[in-house]
Structure 1
Amino acid sequence: MQPNLQRSAVESNRGFQVWWQMTRPHTLTASFVPVLLGTALSLKYEKIHVGLFIAMLIASLLIQAATNMFNEYFDFKRGLDNEESVGIGGTIVRDGIKPKTVLNLAFGFYGIALLLGVYICANSSWWLALVGLICMAIGYFYTGGPFPIAYTPFGEIFSGFFMGMLIILISFFIQTGTVTSTSILVSVPSMVLVGEIMLSNNIRDLDGDKKNGRKTVAILLGKKRAIYLLAGMFTFSYLWVIALIVAGVTPAWVAIVIISAPKAIKATKGFIENTLPIQMAPAMKATAQTNTIFGFLLAVGIFIGHFFS
């Protein structure tokens, strides 16, 4: 291959990587797993509507990706990102992507999600339109607007509830037309683990966030206590699943979530043993992986329990 063609191929591949990284792919499981889990829970009541499942999955992924892009845009506007920023944020300052392009792409993703929402509402309930719009507003105001949610101690709560629990309940509702106590109880550990993704990010960025005036839970507690909170939330999630099994709410098969425990331990140890943001990046990644593996295995356990009950 000629040098010019080789360089062109590398630049093309690099361009794709830049755009892909800007969606922050390690966080997208926070949307995928809850949709899968909510759908798995619905098997007990109704046959799965594949079209609604796919529409909900794509819409959730688009909203999550757009939220990440809003974060990218507003962090740049507020001067929080620079070329030395740790992690996959900072695409605008490092890779030369125009801020307006990032913002327009995020709104474009919202537009596609709205169209999918129309399809979902037409086949379930138009009340979901209001719920969906609230979710999208939270995605924007998480880092946008005059009082960003991410700058407050409530970031973990909002992200956990809207991206963890609510997505599960919506996914369950569009298949069954109702919300049950079981669907709410099973969504609790997902809510906690999605919140932990935000907490891990805030632990890693604690010093930088403090300098920029944020008041996150990690800053208010301090690093040591924030890590204790992280470990406690991991422990709570596993104990909650055990309690669900003992109470007969879920089949014993869901105990396979324990396979994800080594990732939770790795995340906790990674934050304890390291101090620099770049050193804590693997711990943050392990936190996101715990959510992915835990949620996926929980859904698998429910699927197996349904077919072998």
Structure 2
Amino acid sequence: MVQSRKKANWQVWWRLLRPHTLTAAFVPVSVGTALALQEGQVNLPLFLAMLLASLIIQAATNMFNEYFDYVKGLDTAESVGIGGTIVRDGVPASTVLNIALAFYGVAIILGFYICAASSWWLAAVGLACMAAGYLYTGGPWPIAYTPLGEILSGVLMGMTIILISFFIQTGTVSLESVLISVPITVLIGNIMLSNNIRDLDGDRDKGRHTVPILLGRDNAITLLAIVFTFAFLWLTGLVLLKIVTPWSLLALGSIPKARLAVLGFRGKSLAVEMMPAMQATAQTNTIFGLLLAAGLTLGYWF
């Protein structure tokens, strides 16, 4: 009985992290570091510090989301897609907020190390990313209530993290690093888009103005498919232009998962029915990003 209770408690905190969203943190760091490998040796401690900081900031952002949606009365025990730590598991809201702030504190400490080893200009960029994580659902004008969620999450969590990961290893930002960040940026934006497609009805009732609400569900699903296609074509173009190694085409192995994501949304109206499609969208980013990182690494060795 004690062992079962411990397992249940562990699961409560694991769900609070919303692990399916953490792909938006570790994939950009992996891609940026793999690209830096082509410029010389990679500093492993810096890579690990950047990876941990990105994961912690993403997890803290999820906790802020959980806290502020509860405080504003948006989450209930029946809400789909949330950790449910407050409304279902009975964890005090203040505890969730304090853990999120503690995570930010750890991220700042890691940031000091990263900046000291590279450039203090990164402090401003890192603080901006952390502020965006807090303001996504916090503050007087939450980003989550606007059509900007997909764009900001893609740019800050995709392109920015890739470029920082590349910069701390090489001391520069190259055109190649910017171009290779584009497909990851749009795929991370797609994760947010899929989340908003699933939550369309509830978000509309709560007064939000997300992209799916403005476009309608069917058009938003079509946009999801277009973004997937753009990411695959962009990467193919980079290979054809000899900007990145042909090994990068390994990332196209994520196409079947992207197809499942789009088909999983078609004809669905209930949030619980769309959960597999949303998960497939996040998995597409994971598979694409890790295969791309593997391809870039293979391109260095061969």
Structures share a fold, TM > 0.5?
yes
Q: What TM-score do the two structures reach when normalised by structure 2?
A: 0.99
Identity of aligned residues (%): 62
Q: Does the alignment pair 1:133 with 2:127?
A: yes
Given that residues 121 and 129 in structure 1 are in contact (C-alpha distance below 8 angstroms), is that contact kept between their aligned partners in structure 2?
A: yes
Give distance in 1, aligned partners of 2:94 and 2:85: 13
Give distance in 2, aligned partners of 1:11 and 1:79: 29
Given that residues 73 and 102 in structure 1 are in contact (C-alpha distance below 8 angstroms), is that contact kept between their aligned partners in structure 2?
A: yes
Q: What TM-score do the two structures reach when normalised by structure 1?
A: 0.97
Aligned pairs (5 A) from 1:242-281: 242-281=236-275
Q: Partner of 2:55 in structure 1?
A: 61
Structure 2 counterpart of 1:168, from 146, 162, 169: 162
Aligned pairs (5 A) from 1:36-75: 36-75=30-69
Structure 1 range deviating more: 74-83 or 180-189: 74-83
Give distance in 1, aligned partners of 2:252 and 2:125: 33
Give distance in 1, aligned partners of 2:119 and 2:266: 47
Given that residues 66 and 82 in structure 2 are in contact (C-alpha distance below 8 angstroms), is that contact kept between their aligned partners in structure 1?
A: no
Q: Does the alignment pair 1:147 with 2:141?
A: yes
Q: Partner of 1:193 in structure 2?
A: 187
Aligned pairs (5 A) from 1:89-100: 89-100=83-94
Aligned pairs (5 A) from 1:156-305: 156-305=150-299
Give distance in 1, aligned partners of 2:286 and 2:85: 25
Give distance in 2, aligned partners of 1:87 and 1:11: 23
Aligned pairs (5 A) from 1:3-22: 7-22=1-16
Give distance in 2, aligned partners of 1:148 and 1:14: 32
Deviation at 1:149, TM superposition (A): 0.4
Deviation at 1:78, TM superposition (A): 1.1
Letter of the 1:61 partner, please give it: L
Provide, for residues 167-199 of structure 1, a one-character-per-residue CA deviation record: whole Å limited to 9, x for no partner: 000000000000000000000000000000000
Give distance in 1, aligned partners of 2:84 and 2:144: 17
Give distance in 2, aligned partners of 1:258 and 1:191: 16
Q: Partner of 1:3 in structure 2?
A: none
The SS at the match of 2:239 is helix
Given that residues 247 and 296 in structure 2 are in contact (C-alpha distance below 8 angstroms), is that contact kept between their aligned partners in structure 1?
A: yes
Provide, for residues 72-100 of structure 1, a one-character-per-residue CA deviation record: whole Å limited to 9, x for no partner: 00110111110111123332100001000
Q: Does the alignment pair 1:123 with 2:117?
A: yes
The SS at the match of 2:139 is coil
Provide, for residues 189-231 of structure 1, a one-character-per-residue CA deviation record: whole Å limited to 9, x for no partner: 0000000000000000000000000000010000000001000
Structure 1 range deviating more: 275-284 or 253-262: 253-262
Unaligned segments of structure 1, at least 5 residues:
1-6
Deviation at 1:273, TM superposition (A): 3.0
Q: Does the alignment pair 1:30 with 2:24?
A: yes
Provide, for residues 26-70 of structure 1, a one-character-per-residue CA deviation record: whole Å limited to 9, x for no partner: 011110010010000111212100110000000000000000000
The SS at the match of 2:140 is coil
Give distance in 2, aligned partners of 1:86 and 1:275: 13
Give distance in 2, aligned partners of 1:46 and 1:255: 22
Number of residue pairs matched by the alignment: 302
The SS at the match of 1:250 is coil
Provide, for residues 114-147 of structure 1, a one-character-per-residue CA deviation record: whole Å limited to 9, x for no partner: 0000000000000011111111000000110000
Letter of the 1:301 partner, please give it: G
